[in-house]
Structure 1
Amino acid sequence: MFSTRIYFRIVGQVILILIVAGTGIAGILSGRAIILGIIALFIALWQVGALVYYLNTSNRRIQLFLDAIEDNESMLHFPDNTGTEEQRRLHAAFNRIHKLMTESKQKELDRELMQKEYEAYDKLMHVLTHEIMNSIAPIVSLSGTLLSYFQSQGTAKHLDELSDTTIRKTIRGLDTIKSQGQSLINFTNSYRQLARIQPPKLKQFSLSHLIRNIEMLFHADLQRLGIQLSTRLYQEEITVNADEELLSQVIINLLKNAMQALEGQKDGSISLEVKHIGSSLAIEITDNGPGIPHDILDDIFVPFFTTKSTGTGIGLSLSRQIIRMHEGKLRVSSEPYIATKFSITMPLSLGNHHA
Structure 2
Amino acid sequence: MPTFHPISDLINNTTTIDNGAHILYMYSEVDRYVENAVTYIYNGLISGAIVLFSESEEIIKLMKKQLYLMDLQDSHLENLICLSSNEFYLNGLEIDFVGAGKKFNSLLLPFIDRGHSIRTWGGVPLVNHESSLEWVQSYECKCDTFIFNHQMISVCAYNALTTSAYVQNELLKIHTHLMTDDLYNLSPLYNQDNHKQFSMNQKEELQKIERQYKHLKDLNARLAFENNLVKLKNDSIKQSEQKLRQIINALPIPIIIRRNSSVLFLNDEAREQFLTNNQQEELASFFHKYDDYLLVSPNSEELLEHQLSLKNDLTKYYLVNSINLLFEDEEAILHAFVDVTQEKENEKLMIRSEKMTIAGELAASIAHELRNPLTAVKGFFQMMKQTEEKVELYYNVIDAELSRIEQIASELLTLAKPHTDDRKDYNIVQLVEEVKLLLTSQTNLNNIEICLEADHREMFINCDNNKVKQVFINLIKNAVDAMNQGGTISIKIKENSDTITIQIIDQGKGIPKEVLNRIGEPFYTTKEKGTGIGLMVCYQIIESHKGTIHVASQVNVGTTFTITLPRSEQLLDQVN
Of Structure 1 and Structure 2, the greater strand share is in: 2
Q: Is TM > 0.5 for Structure 1 vs Structure 2?
A: no
TM tier, smaller: 0.3 to 0.5
Of Structure 1 and Structure 2, the greater helix share is in: 1
Q: Over alpha carbons, which structure has the higher Rg?
A: 2
Give the TM-score normalised by the residue count of structure 1.
Answer: 0.43
Give the TM-score normalised by the residue count of structure 2.
Answer: 0.27
